[in-house]
Structure 1
Amino acid sequence: MKPHVFVAMPFGVKPGHDGSPIDFNRIYDDYLVPALAAAGLDVFRADEELRAGDIRTDMFQELLIADLVVADLTLDNPNVWYELGVRHALRARGVILVQGPRPTQPFDIYTDRKLHYRLKDGMPDPATLAEDREALTSMAVATLQAWQGRKLSPVYNLLPNLREPDWKTLLLAERNEFSVAYEEWASRMEVARQKTRAGDILVLAEETPTRALRIEARRAAGEALLKLRHYDFALEQFEAVLALDAEHKPARERKAVCLGRLGRFEEAREWVRRLTEEYPRDSEVWALSGRVEKDSWMSRWRREGASAAELHEAAAFEDAALADAIEPYRKAFIIDPSHHYSGINALTLQMLRRHLGGADEPVLIDNLVGGVLWAALTAQERSHKDYWARASYAELCLLVNPLDTVRREYGATAAAANGDWFALDSSRQTLCLLRDLEFRPPETAAALGIIDREVARSTPPFQPRRVFLFSGHMIDAPDRASPRFPPDKEAIAAQGIAAALDALGAGPGDLALAQGASGGDLLFLEACKARGVRLQLMLPFTEPEFIERSVSPAADGASWCKRYYTLRAGLPDAPRIMPVELGPLPKTGRTERMNAYERCNRWLLNTALAWGIDRVHFVCLWNGASGDGTGGTAHMYEEVKRRTGRVSWIDTRMLW
């Protein structure tokens, strides 16, 4: 989606300062719109003369939410000054001032940088119009790229401690075009988030009309990917948030988590250090520091295939690193005694330290036991369904209580998970740590057995070994002017696809993503099915429309339709329908909408990448030409090559 720009300016023909008429509609049409469109912006202006203070809802919403506001100060128009004042009061950045000829400058903005455009006979001067447009285009691009730079609003410059309101507080009470679109978009985002469909979230993130929504969407995508433990791709999303808002605290925190989980501990520590300096009384920040140090400590001694005795000895040797992990958790719990997550981590690690032969510190342990007991129980009082409070209390019982109590509390914790595989697996990871270090073996084994049984009952997220993404030519329609995939080449193409899949070792445990068009798509899907690969069809239209557009037009279309339905009948998962999952095609301008095939290709690609960048392989049946436009095989090939480089290109020029 294009960023939005709101234009505040007079309308129609108005007398200039010398009394000569100025045609502001021509200025808008000939100067502003072309220049701003060239910068990749969607331009919005109210379409009628307004009385001062009588601002239509849609226009006012755009004024507040738009990525950029361009104010024309050629005349001292009350509406323009009012709109500029509102923007300066509520947004710190994103304003460009332009003006035509005027004898004096307004005092309040005398020193502000303004772009000047030239007029002739009250309209943009043809002799300088191209130059004026280019200057505005360049400034618009520079302003958007330098969003994190100097605050342009004089209000925020003069009041350095003033913070911009959260963008959601700028949504008007009265429903308007933006709020309706946002509600629909947010609803689809929430469904995708609940289903942990990071690919859907990524597509929706790319389609947001404003910077504020892009931040929210990228963060949601990062959270979903973090939950799926795809840390590299999650990191990309949080870095995208920080490119839009360098001070975004949750994204900074999550970036540190991703860096730690990727083993980039020095970078993670640096990000956390900055956060603790800026937020020294924030328990979440100190808990994050503890998490990074805990991950670092575990990475120093955990080795695949090592015996329990070897792990115990190696962990004991890393006592200093363990102490570094305990301290920030302890600080977080002191700052906020209700933060049971920090308390139980500090206590568990301290008791492991004693177990491994390190410092005992009985007073600290006793204080932590009492604090965690209070924090976990009061959290349960506030919400009986709080899984994490129950998990903290159960872990406390494992540390200090007898076996029967451990069994009872872990049973209650497992029930509170309500089948949430991710929550259960998080508890399991802690129990595996205790098991590996032989901490209270009977109690740990009992707790782990209870959690393992509940994990087995829940539905774990499908994790494919590899993801095969496909795009390729359709079988030629009878009326195609120049042959591309003639029907008599079907067998040769099928052999090429089969050979590519065999070379990649495709088989059970893998996932294949494709549309289902006649020709390459169906040949690929049939070959994958024959090798035991799990299939997922993703269609750009409703199924009847897709069949009409992409299956039946082929030569011998009836036969291809039959093959489509035969394949579909054996699928474990129904085809996913893009308009149902992602909503209608988003606008790319005032009247234009996005290409459905391009959007579906992005949906396929993002869905594949969400399983893990290193798992994605792209197979294409293609003649190397640019194809029939945006959304074809060429588009997908370039996107995948740029992202992963793992491409198996079956070049039809070499087949026939």
Structure 2
Amino acid sequence: MRHAFVAMPFGSRPGQDGLAIDFERIFDEYMIPALHAAGLKVFRTSAEGPPGDADADMLQHLLMADVVVADITLDDPNIWYALGVRHALRASAVVLVQGTHGTAIEPGSDLDPDLDPDLGDHQRLRYHLKAGGPDPDTLIDDRQRLSNTVCGFPDAQHGTSPIHHALPHLREPDWRTLLPVQRNVLTGPYAAWADRLDSARPGDILVLADEAPCTALHIAARLAAGDALMRLRHCDFALEQFDRVLELEPGHTLARRRRASCLARLGRVIEAREAVCRLVTEAPEAPETRALAGSIDKADWISRWALVDAAPGAMRARAAIENAPLSAAIEHYRQAFMRDPSRCRAGLNALTLMLLRRHLGCAKAADDSRRLSDGLQWSIGAARALTPDDYRVRTSDAEYCLLQGDLAHVREAYRHATGVAGGDWHALDSSRRSLCLLRDLGFRPAETAAAIEIIDDALARTEPPFVPRQVFLFSGHMADAPDRATPRFPAGLEPPAAAAIGATLDALGAGPGDLALTQGASGGDILFLEACKARQVRLHLMLPLPEPEFLERSVASARHGAQWRARYDSIRHTLDDPPRVLPDALGPLPEADANPFERCNRWLLATALSWGIDKVSFICLWNGEGGDGPGGTAHMHAEMKRRTGKVSWIDTRTLSHQPA
């Protein structure tokens, strides 16, 4: 949800005509409804300090708020101070509002909208006062104007800050560099995400992104989720995260780079190259963009010769022919390293490809590999001295040694690298895939074979991550409680529902190597889990509440609750991993009145999709009735139908009841 900060007077204050204005009523009756209608979460400082005073919370709001609404009804120095801070920090999204009985803005002043059309009148609004509060006769219209104004900001072409307008080269600061020491309502969630990033799963981060209190944190979480998905090689879903960032901030450079990288990995090389060309044109000196361009050209070159089942000789001959993308990749990587010698990976890629080009016999002119090698040796040595236990640094050192070192030094360097891998299977596997490309081209065969042997030994000692063949996501009705007025899932529906779930799983080919995700409530969830267990599907429970509370509310509360509890326990004892508990994984509910069960369903959906959109099938045991909020069965049904179409709906209205 986007975040609005309101800067306005507190309490009851006399206006220009001496009549009291109740600004608490203005906030409650005018500001909050209008901003909520625009989809904004509203913040306001808790107390008014002396003129010019600004605590860390206020400064953080002024920096990070998507919209700032400033009430200039009174000539209040604190409001003007807040406006000055906001105008200096951010280029846009300020709305000035003024009550009709307040101090008038004099024509020709700096706030006169006629003075500069780029600071137009649509960003300064008047609301009407009556008897010290909002005028009830115009209140609805006043709210609507404010809502419409803030809704239009994402599409605005001009900034509202006179400072940024006058100084067009002034850049907004990175909000991360201005975080206060003490955590507050904005920085607390970001700090919590940062603390979890090392162990967080993509599905977790996606839920946190949706709950972010402002756009800046939403963007940070989406980027983190996209990076995690790319690491898992789920580039289709990662691409969606970067697209979401660009919807919020179209010029976000990092998201544009990540998006281009995703496109390349998905085989959409032309689109990726076009995206990178635009980035290079905008910032030709940026080493990150040059390195990205090199990676896309390198991937394009590899895709032209690394064909499945092709003989090594055929691959080598084909690689030699495809010199254009190879040379382009070398030049981009070389430029990136020249602009930033600390980017040893870019330099290493440039040198590796230069030597491969020479090895393949397609180098037509002398290159500067000797000079590049000398610079790279210094760069890697400096990185190794600073971070000797970093796997990327150690593998860079090993790969550099592989290019021109003797066999003994190659073995030693790769043993050092695997010694600091920390059980990171993905990192080891990435190193192996790079070595296999060199092997396929016949480059330094003895040294390459020795390096692969050491990596293979490390992989054999590292447990590979579980990667499901298929993912089955389930949502369905709980078994009816004894006091339920209108039956929805009575005991008589259990046998036909169990049979229908089993038949659905059989039709989908469920079996070993697949993954089942659900909450574990009585009724549909447990029937689904039992059917999956019978087919040797791996079970994964995700609970909306701490387990004792969940069991009381969602298992034991059903008719024959003791039997459902025994069935839950039987499933629980066979799990490969203990149930994940929502508040433990993601923290408390973002709002006091939020529904933990709907939040858990959103968590389930995000987790399922993070395994790969094409792998997910949704099974629901549902009567088709609407009324679900976000995260309900209806929402999950619609979302999966939109994404994959792989939805199996077991309509409880069509099942034949059997005597209980």
* TM-score clears 0.5: yes
Q: Closer, same or farther in 2 for the Cα pair 1:176/1:187, shift >3 Å?
A: closer
Q: Deviations over 1:482-518 (max 9, x none)?
A: 1111112211111000000000001111111001001
Who is 2:646 aligned against?
646
Which one of 108, 111, 123 corresponds to residue 109 of structure 1? Answer: 111
- Counterparts in 2 of 1:316-327, with a 5 A limit? 316-327=320-331
Who is 1:540 aligned against?
544
Who is 2:195 aligned against?
190
The answer as to whether partners of 1:518 and 1:560 remain within 8 angstroms in 2 is: yes
Q: Which amino acid aligns with 2:428?
A: L
**TM-fit CA distance, 1:531:** 0.8
Who is 1:67 aligned against?
66
1:140 lines up with 2:141 in the alignment: no
Q: What SS does the aligned partner of 1:462 have?
A: coil
Who is 1:622 aligned against?
622
- Counterparts in 2 of 1:399-418, with a 5 A limit? 399-418=403-422
Measure, in 2, the Cα distance between the counterparts of 1:126 and 1:187: 43
Q: Deviations over 1:217-255 (max 9, x none)?
A: 111111111111111111111222222223322222211
Measure, in 2, the Cα distance between the counterparts of 1:3 and 1:334: 41
Measure, in 2, the Cα distance between the counterparts of 1:263 and 1:488: 52
Q: Which amino acid aligns with 1:116?
A: R
- Counterparts in 2 of 1:296-335, with a 5 A limit? 296-335=300-339
Measure, in 1, the Cα distance between the counterparts of 2:393 and 2:46: 55
Relative to the length of structure 1, the TM-score reads 0.94
Measure, in 1, the Cα distance between the counterparts of 2:398 and 2:176: 38
The answer as to whether partners of 2:236 and 2:262 remain within 8 angstroms in 1 is: yes
Q: Closer, same or farther in 2 for the Cα pair 1:301/1:559, shift >3 Å?
A: same
Query: How many correspondences in the alignment?
Result: 645
- RMSD (Å), alpha carbons: 2.1
The answer as to whether partners of 1:353 and 1:360 remain within 8 angstroms in 2 is: no
Q: Closer, same or farther in 2 for the Cα pair 1:212/1:436, shift >3 Å?
A: same
Q: Which amino acid aligns with 1:577?
A: V
The answer as to whether partners of 1:627 and 1:633 remain within 8 angstroms in 2 is: no
Which one of 156, 164, 167 corresponds to residue 175 of structure 2? Answer: 167
Measure, in 1, the Cα distance between the counterparts of 2:628 and 2:37: 25
- Counterparts in 2 of 1:158-557, with a 5 A limit? 158-179=166-187, 181-182=188-189, 185-191=190-196, 193-195=197-199, 197-359=201-363, 361=365, 363-557=367-561
Structure 1 segments unaligned to the other structure (5+ residues): none
Q: Closer, same or farther in 2 for the Cα pair 1:11/1:372, shift >3 Å?
A: closer
Q: Deviations over 1:593-616 (max 9, x none)?
A: 321011100100111111111111
Q: What SS does the aligned partner of 1:108 have?
A: coil
**TM-fit CA distance, 1:568:** 0.4
Measure, in 1, the Cα distance between the counterparts of 2:311 and 2:200: 36
Q: Closer, same or farther in 2 for the Cα pair 1:643/1:87, shift >3 Å?
A: same
Measure, in 2, the Cα distance between the counterparts of 1:273 and 1:42: 38
Q: Closer, same or farther in 2 for the Cα pair 1:21/1:231, shift >3 Å?
A: same
Q: What SS does the aligned partner of 1:137 have?
A: helix
The answer as to whether partners of 1:188 and 1:581 remain within 8 angstroms in 2 is: no
Q: Closer, same or farther in 2 for the Cα pair 1:48/1:314, shift >3 Å?
A: closer
The answer as to whether partners of 2:41 and 2:213 remain within 8 angstroms in 1 is: no
**TM-fit CA distance, 1:18:** 3.5
Q: Closer, same or farther in 2 for the Cα pair 1:388/1:12, shift >3 Å?
A: closer
Measure, in 2, the Cα distance between the counterparts of 1:484 and 1:217: 39
Who is 1:125 aligned against?
135
Who is 1:635 aligned against?
635
Q: What SS does the aligned partner of 1:650 have?
A: strand
Measure, in 2, the Cα distance between the counterparts of 1:169 and 1:110: 34
Q: Deviations over 1:304-327 (max 9, x none)?
A: 111112212222221222112111
Q: Which amino acid aligns with 2:594?
A: M
**TM-fit CA distance, 1:441:** 2.0
Relative to the length of structure 2, the TM-score reads 0.93
Measure, in 2, the Cα distance between the counterparts of 1:174 and 1:415: 38
Measure, in 2, the Cα distance between the counterparts of 1:324 and 1:62: 46
Who is 1:605 aligned against?
605
The answer as to whether partners of 2:602 and 2:630 remain within 8 angstroms in 1 is: no
The answer as to whether partners of 1:65 and 1:170 remain within 8 angstroms in 2 is: no
Q: Closer, same or farther in 2 for the Cα pair 1:545/1:160, shift >3 Å?
A: same
Sequence identity (%): 57
Structure 2 segments unaligned to the other structure (5+ residues): 114-118
**TM-fit CA distance, 1:621:** 0.7
Q: Which amino acid aligns with 2:13?
A: K
Q: What SS does the aligned partner of 2:374 have?
A: helix
324-333 vs 553-562, which deviates more? 324-333
The answer as to whether partners of 1:293 and 1:325 remain within 8 angstroms in 2 is: yes
Measure, in 2, the Cα distance between the counterparts of 1:360 and 1:92: 51
The answer as to whether partners of 1:595 and 1:630 remain within 8 angstroms in 2 is: no
Q: Closer, same or farther in 2 for the Cα pair 1:196/1:439, shift >3 Å?
A: farther
**TM-fit CA distance, 1:372:** 2.4
Q: What SS does the aligned partner of 1:43 have?
A: strand
325-334 vs 394-403, which deviates more? 394-403
563-572 vs 12-21, which deviates more? 12-21
Q: Which amino acid aligns with 1:159?
A: L
1:581 lines up with 2:580 in the alignment: no
